[in-house]
């Protein structure tokens, strides 16, 4: 199945709100330990970022819960790792079908707890379903060479108990993107959601219980202390982490004590390079859409816009007009493109960039002031030609505020785009495909696009260069990251 295109043109169509009768009871949200739904004596609630209202009550797992969960995962691994690869593939495919039945209920909850517009919540569910299906269909064949007296064979064996740590921007997609490769390769996995978006992941793993034996897929909701308890614990063999570069470094440090494997999918500061020969009216709205999608809260959002000097003013004007058309509001309202910032901590962080507008004398092309009131809303903002050493250029804003910058020639564009310690994604927008490809091949990022951005495909590996990560997820490379490589030297004659 081809990768799905992101709806980035600012049109979200009408939104209807309704619950469908599905497979799950949506009235309570619990940890899943060894196949059982469990609550804890202490509980907490996250906040609906559009309204400030409390979300559903969720558990706060203790160290004792972690011990029991990881022990159950260890026991379950003994049998699950012996289940045939094709039976494990079928279990993931059945899980994906069930998620499709429950898609509308998950989407409604996602808008409520994450804040994203309902149309994009549904899109996240579509991607999650597709991710599980495509990953489940990947094969991981052994490689072998036959020589006169021996066979040399490489096979991939599961690691054991794994932990998937998930952020708040795509809580369902990123959890399924860890569960599917972990279990299809014979591992067991414990999901730890972000404390900002726990409810959807709790339900996701509850749903998984219909397709996997107890202990194979588990979930623990908790507070800020839970992540370190899991990464320090002696049982897990691997941590699959998606989150900020700052936290990724802590995870790696903690995991190093027992030499756990880590995959780190971290922050980005993605450049778009727009050359002088593009159709401005067609490209400028796409660039604006890709900068402000999910209110800029995407690792792969466009975070630095570089436009060739000769078309810069005209292009900026077209981006400004496109940005003015992007509607902000609660994700339940029709036609909304930008929901709120997901949580107060991130909202306050993004607001410091707005404080810098005055303090640093930045020129605002559009936006720049904020609505205030209930909910963590931020107006999409473009800063025109800020200094290259300013925070808005150097740091990942993770909010709807981007710098608009220029370059004279392709060599300068490449130099500026690569001048960052991040290397997650990058794109080139150019009507001359040979010229575009020449630029693309010189960009230092894990994912490089020509004339699009953020179009991912679970059949291929995804990862970051430099401080955007270590290792890959998804694709055959992602399956291998959940395995040990074992080389067998098999003599054919008797000793
Ligand atoms: P975060 O690093 O604050 O948190 C991510 C997860 O780590 C959460 O579940 C959190 O509870 C947990 N955590 C926090 N401290 C921990 C610790 N010491 N040990 C173990 N776990 C800990 O990130 P966030 O704010 O939730 O997400 C935003 C960041 O994630 C951005 O930087 C974004 O670019 C990045 N991100 C990267 C990708 C990718 O695939 N590369 C995808 C989405 C988001």
C-alpha 163 – ligand 1 centre gap (Å): 14
Q: What distance in Å separates the CA atoms of residue 338 and residue 327, rounded to the nearest whole number? A: 6
Residue located nearest, by CA, to atom 39 of ligand 1: 265
Residue 430 CA to ligand 1 center (angstroms) comes to 33
Under a CB-based contact definition with an 8 Å cutoff, are residues 133 and 1 in contact? yes
Nearest CA to ligand 1 atom 18: 228
Residues assigned a catalytic role: 265
| Residue among 231, 247, 462, 472 whose CB has most ligand 1 atoms within 8 A, to mutate | 247
Q: Compute the distance from residue 5 Cα to the ligand 1 centre, in Å.
A: 25
- Residue 455, exposed/middle/buried by CB under 10 A (0-12, 13-18, 19+)? middle
Count of C-beta atoms within a 10 Å radius of residue 310? 13
Tell me which DSSP letter residue 197 carries: S
Closest CA to 190 of 91, 100, 97, 74: 74
Q: Which atom of ligand 1 is nearest to the CA of 247?
A: 2
Question: Which atom, in ligand 1's list, is nearest to the CA of 244?
Answer: 32
The CATH classification number of 270-450 equals: 3.40.309.10
Name the residue with the closest Cα to ligand 1, atom 10: 194
Q: What is the pLDDT of residue 372?
A: 80
Terminus-to-terminus CA distance in the chain, angstroms? 50
Q: Hey, where are the domains in the chain?
A: 31-266+468-486, 270-450
Q: What is the pTM of this model?
A: 0.95
Q: Which H/E stretch holds residue 487?
A: strand 483-491
For ligand 1, the distance from its centroid to the CA atom of residue 265, given in whole angstroms, is: 9
φ/ψ (deg, to 5) at 177? -70, -10
β-strand partners of 362: none
Q: Could you tell me which of 323, 282, 41, 83 has the C-alpha nearest to residue 183?
A: 83
Q: Which residues contact 138 (CB under 8 A, 6 or more apart)?
A: 184, 459, 475, 476, 479
In our burial notation (b when 16+ CB lie closer than 10 A, e otherwise), range 19-43 reads eeebeeeeeebbbbbbeebeebeee
For residue 389, give every residue at least 6 positions away whose Cβ sits within 8 Å of its Cβ, in sequence order, or none. Answer: none
At the top level of CATH, the class of 31-266+468-486 is alpha beta
A 10 A CB-CB count for 228 gives 12
Mean pLDDT by 10 residues, the chain (495 residues): 40 36 88 98 97 97 98 98 97 97 97 98 98 98 94 97 98 98 98 98 98 98 98 98 98 98 98 98 98 98 98 98 97 97 97 96 95 92 98 97 98 98 98 98 98 98 98 98 98 90
Residues in the ligand 1 pocket, defined by CB under 6 Å? 165-169, 192, 194-195, 227-228, 231, 242-244, 247, 250-251, 265-268, 299, 396, 398, 424, 464, 469
Helices (H), 115-237: 118-136, 171-184, 198-208, 226-232
In this prediction, residue 21 carries a pLDDT of 54
Position 7 scores a pLDDT of: 42
Helices (H), 137-170: none
């Amino acid at each position: 199945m081809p990768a799905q295109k992101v709806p980035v043109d600012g049109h979200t169509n009408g939104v209807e709100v309704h619950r469908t009768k599905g497979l799950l009871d949506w009235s309570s949200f619990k940890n899943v330990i060894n196949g059982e739904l469990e609550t804890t004596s202490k509980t907490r609630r996250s906040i609906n970022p559009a309204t400030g209202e409390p979300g559903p009550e969720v558990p706060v797992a203790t160290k004792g819960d972690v011990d029991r969960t990881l022990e159950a995962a260890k026991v379950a691994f003994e049998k699950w790792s012996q289940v045939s690869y094709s039976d494990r593939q079928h279990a993931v495919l059945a899980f994906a079908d069930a998620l499709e039945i429950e898609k509308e209920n998950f989407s409604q909850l996602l808008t409520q707890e994450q804040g994203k517009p309902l149309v994009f919540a549904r899109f996240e569910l579509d991607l999650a379903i597709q991710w599980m299906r495509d990953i489940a269909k990947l094969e991981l064949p052994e490689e072998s060479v036959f020589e006169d007296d021996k066979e040399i064979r490489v096979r991939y064996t599961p690691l054991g108990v794994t932990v998937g740590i998930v952020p708040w921007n795509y809580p369902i997609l990123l959890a399924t993107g860890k569960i599917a490769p972990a279990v299809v390769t014979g591992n067991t996995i414990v999901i730890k959601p972000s404390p900002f978006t726990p409810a959807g992941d709790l339900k996701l793993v509850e749903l998984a219980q219909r397709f996997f034996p107890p202990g194979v897929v588990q979930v623990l909701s908790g507070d800020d202390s839970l992540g370190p308890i899991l990464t320090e614990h002696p049982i897990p063999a691997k941590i699959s982490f998606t989150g900020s570069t700052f936290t990724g470094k802590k995870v790696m440090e903690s995991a190093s004590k027992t030499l756990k494997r880590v995959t780190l999918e971290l922050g980005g500061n993605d450049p778009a390079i727009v050359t002088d020969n593009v159709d401005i009216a067609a490209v400028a709205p796409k660039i604006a859409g890709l900068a402000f999608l999910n209110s800029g809260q995407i690792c792969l959002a466009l975070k630095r816009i570089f436009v060739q000097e000769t078309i810069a003013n005209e292009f900026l004007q077209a981006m400004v007009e496109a940005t003015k058309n992007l509607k902000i509001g609660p994700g339940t309202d029709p036609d909304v493109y930008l929901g709120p910032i997901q949580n107060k901590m991130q909202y306050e962080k993004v607001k410091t960039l707005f404080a810098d507008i005055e303090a640093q004398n930045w020129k605002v092309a559009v936006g720049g002031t904020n609505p205030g009131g209930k909910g963590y809303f931020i107006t999409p903002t473009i800063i025109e030609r800020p200094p290259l050493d300013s925070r808005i250029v150097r740091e990942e804003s993770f909010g709807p505020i981007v710098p608009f910058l220029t370059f004279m020639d392709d060599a300068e564009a490449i130099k500026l785009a690569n001048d960052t310690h991040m290397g997650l994604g990058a794109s080139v927008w150019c009507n001359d495909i040979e010229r575009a490809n020449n630029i693309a091949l010189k960009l230092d990022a894990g994912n490089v696009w020509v004339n699009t951005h953020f179009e991912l495909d679970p059949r291929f590996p995804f990862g970051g260069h430099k401080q955007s990560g270590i290792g890959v997820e998804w694709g055959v490379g992602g399956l291998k990251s959940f395995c040990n490589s074992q080389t067998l030297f098999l003599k054919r004659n008797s000793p």
